């Protein structure tokens, strides 16, 4: 009898992906942990391994398919059971990322809308996507992670309908509900009380074309919307005199290059930022707003924004405080190459304490980067230029680097934001001070 192997849980907050390639075919004999397909999830392309031995009797997915956690992938004959971990969700247990196993049928209970909450009438698009049983706002079945997602993106989970009767609300249901609100202009407002504005008919003005967003662009849209609508941003601007730093960088660039890396300003900034987080621990936190708690971190991982043809990616350099600038430079070279070739793993994107985004190679004088939630700050870097600086009674040419620090004003006060930025500037202006301290 054939066993069905379903898509297992791949990682935190990952509930779907697009099949890039299928690595097996009917008749193949596969072994445990053998890769059976490549899946694009958010910003990484990962190989999905099979958890059992068996012979492929039928391949249930095709290249280009978008599939969710729990979706059937293969029918396998002989050699062992093929039950993926954490698929079936029982009512009394917290749900995993996605539930696809059939639940025990429950008698459908008609809901009398005796005192409905006053909400705007849903648009036709929203009604079509939410045509399952109505749910009263006080009684919903969903995992804690799903409720957290709803809170973060400003969705009332009591207004979300499950994709099928008798099932719990999933992360995909919450995202679909939010998407309907954004695209339709109707329904309940998003965080901040603002509903999407309906688009005009652009075809009236000339030829148009539509293209589906890539996974990277969709994830960027969702995460930036969530961050901007839930975090009160403040951006602190400053300039660092990096004249001496550039001399230092050019003097010691040779050994780093021989080791296979490149001593860039970003590599030095990554190290400086980790030291700044030690000096100002209120920046190395995340907020647990529902529980009114601040989560302090005793590790120092720095995310670095990488511009690729697939979109913006933010891989993470781990344990920066324990690495030399040379090691950081080598890590930067490695993750940048992997990001541009889509070879980063899911773990490469996780665990960041704070992010650096450097636009100096492109240009600009300053900008206001958006905090990468659940972090509370992000450092933006613009192109350095030679400027006249008044020193000891005369103007002298100095190489000045603009810095833009955006931070979550719920966690960080303005005075601390200014002190943090000035500390970074001082460290860059006296690069040897990092070694002394």
Q: Scan for tokens 């773990």, then name that residue.
A: 347
Q: Which residues pair with 46 in a beta bridge?
A: 39
Burial of residue 143 (CB within 10 Å: 0-12, 13-18, 19+) is: buried
Spatial separation of the C-alpha atoms in residues 188 and 122, rounded to whole Å: 8
Report whether the peptide linkage leading into residue 87 is cis, meaning its omega lies within 30 degrees of zero. Answer: no
409 noted as active-site residue:
yes
Q: In what order do the strands lie in the sheet with 66-68?
A: 44-49, 35-41, 16-22, 66-68
Q: What is the DSSP string of 110-139?
A: P---SS----PPPPHHHHHHT-S----TT-
- Rg of the chain's alpha carbons, rounded to an integer? 25
**In degrees, to the nearest 5, what angle opens at C-alpha 434 toward C-alphas 429 and 437?**
130
**Closest C-alpha to 412, from 149, 236, 163, 209:** 236
**Angstrom distance (rounded) from CA 294 to CA 286:** 6
Catalytic residue (choose from 177, 233, 409, 430): 409
Q: How far apart are CA 115 and CA 66, in angstroms?
A: 39
**Residue 405, both tokens:** 């620090």
Rounded-to-10 torsion of CA 139, 101, 34, 59: -130
DSSP letter assigned to residue 410 = T
**Sign of the alpha-carbon torsion through 222, 225, 229, 232:** positive
Report the candidate in 274, 357, 258 with the shortest Cα–Cα distance to residue 319: 274
Residues acting as catalytic residues: 409
């Amino acid at each position: 009898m054939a066993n069905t192997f379903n898509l297992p849980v791949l990682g935190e907050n990952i509930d779907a992906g697009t099949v890039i390639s299928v690595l097996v075919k009917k008749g193949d004999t596969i072994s445990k942990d053998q890769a059976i397909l490549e899946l694009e999830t958010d910003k990484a392309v990962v190989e999905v391994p099979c958890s059992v031995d068996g012979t492929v009797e039928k391949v249930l997915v095709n290249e280009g398919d978008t599939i969710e956690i729990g979706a059937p992938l293969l029918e396998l004959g002989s050699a062992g059971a093929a039950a993926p971990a954490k698929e079936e969700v029982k009512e009394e247990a917290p749900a995993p990322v996605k539930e696809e196993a059939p639940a025990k049928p429950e008698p459908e209970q008609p809901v009398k809308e005796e005192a409905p909450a006053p909400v705007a009438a849903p648009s036709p698009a929203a009604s079509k996507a939410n045509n399952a049983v109505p749910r009263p706002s006080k009684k919903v079945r969903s995992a804690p992670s799903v409720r957290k997602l709803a809170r973060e993106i400003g969705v009332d989970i009591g207004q979300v309908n499950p994709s099928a009767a008798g099932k719990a609300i999933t992360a995909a249901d919450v995202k679909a509900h939010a998407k309907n609100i954004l695209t339709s202009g109707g329904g309940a407002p998003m965080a901040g009380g603002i509903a999407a504005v309906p688009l005009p008919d652009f075809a009236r003005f000339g030829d148009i074309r539509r293209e589906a967003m890539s996974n990277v662009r969709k994830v960027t849209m969702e995460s930036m919307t969530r961050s901007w609508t839930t975090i009160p941003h403040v951006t602190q601007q400053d300039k660092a005199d990096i004249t001496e730093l550039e001399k230092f960088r050019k003097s010691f660039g040779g050994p780093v290059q021989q080791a296979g890396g490149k001593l860039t300003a970003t590599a030095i900034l990554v190290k400086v930022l980790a030291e700044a987080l030690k000096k100002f621990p209120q920046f190395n936190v995340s907020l647990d707003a529902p529980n009114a708690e601040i989560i302090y971190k005793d590790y120092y991982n720095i995310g670095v924004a990488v511009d690729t043809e697939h979109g913006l990616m933010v891989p993470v350099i781990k344990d920066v405080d324990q690495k030399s600038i040379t090691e950081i430079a080598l890590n930067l070279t490695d993750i940048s190459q992997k990001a541009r070739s889509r070879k980063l793993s899911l773990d490469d994107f996780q665990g960041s304490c704070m992010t650096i985004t450097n636009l100096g190679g492109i240009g600009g004088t300053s900008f206001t980067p958006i905090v990468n939630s659940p972090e509370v700050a992000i450092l933006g870097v613009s192109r350095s230029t030679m400027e006249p600086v008044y020193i000891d009674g005369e103007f002298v040419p100095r190489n000045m680097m603009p810095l833009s620090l955006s931070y979550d004003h719920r966690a960080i006060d303005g005075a601390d934001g200014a002190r943090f930025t000035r500390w970074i500037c001082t460290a860059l202006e006296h690069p040897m001070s990092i070694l002394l301290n």
